[in-house]
Amino acid sequence: MNDHPRIVVLDGHTLNPGDLSWDELAALGECTVHPRTAAADIVARGRDADVLLTNKTPLTAEVIALCPRLRCIGVLATGYNVVNLSAARERGIPVTNVPAYGTASVAQHTIALLLELARRCGDHSAGVRAGKWTASEWCYWDTEQVELDGLVLGIVGAGRIGRAVGELGRAFGMDVRYASRADGRAGLEALFRAADVASLHCPLTAETHHLINSETLGWMKPSAFLLNTSRGPLIDEAALADALNSGRIAGAAVDVLSVEPPPASNPLLTARNCIITPHLAWGTSAARRRLLAIAVENVRSFLAGKPVNVVN
């Protein structure tokens, strides 16, 4: 590697829309940061890069083959499915990711979604501004007000985020229970049947794709809530929309969808009692600062000949 490696960021806007600094990354070499990169421009921008950083811009086998100088790929996220790992491995190119940076932020957002389902603060605030309280008595509520104390919080996945959500749930007096792959189908069914709130915190694999479907939704109580701040394809969205619209479960709140941004045809966009936020659970300024710092350290470690957080 030469003394002035060429570092290219393909889509820096999501991580840093302007409130953070790229200076530490720029200090490591000749650095170019593109806010976004269209598919037609990936090769042109990456062709001369020694280090290529991407968030959601896909690096296919074809792209990697057309970037002869490429020595390292850094993903500005925890998930790395945007990179063809085998193609990188064949070239001896390490692919790094950024684990654990958003645990506290995602757990916080998960509980924020739960509280919104339980109390509907946003809806009631909008109602007050529309004059409903002025025209009402001393107080009013449009939806059932749910107390979390004593309810069963069933968490699928006992990793960092799942454990953090469990700690927050216990602070509200909830009975926190877990299920993981080791518990098998019987353990998952037992969890879903007991849960007043089911929260997904597991990776997306062939085994967990559409983990939430018409059958597993059928295990849940009619009063139950479903939360997903993990991966959109964990849920069969048509099945969930049907369950919500029929009153099979009481509500759902998700921060992720199977296709992002969603097409207007996504059935959850019009489903009853469904709260959707635009994949922002990870996006606090504190979490993004950590992400950027770890990503820079990944590059620094690679240039020093000691790569870290390598996923391939």
The active-site residue out of 129, 167, 260, 272 is 260
The active-site residue out of 279, 289, 297, 300 is 279
Is 90 catalytic? The answer is: no
The active-site residue out of 231, 237, 288, 290 is 231
Report the 10 Å Cβ neighbour count for 287.
Answer: 19
Q: What would the DSSP string read from start to end of the chain?
A: --SS-EEEES--TTT-SSSS--HHHHTTSEEEE-S---GGGHHHHHTT-SEEEESSS-B-HHHHHT-TT--EEEESSS--TTB-HHHHHHTT--EE---STTHHHHHHHHHHHHHHHHH-HHHHHHHHHTTTTTTSSS---SS-----TT-EEEEE--SHHHHHHHHHHHHTT-EEEEE-GGGHHHHHHHHHHH-SEEEE-----TTTTT-BSHHHHHTS-TT-EEEE-S-GGGB-HHHHHHHHHTTSSSEEEES--SSSSPPTT-GGGG-TTEEE--S-TT--HHHHHHHHHHHHHHHHHHHTT---SB--
Is 181 catalytic? The answer is: no
Is 237 catalytic? The answer is: no
Active site residues: 231, 260, 279
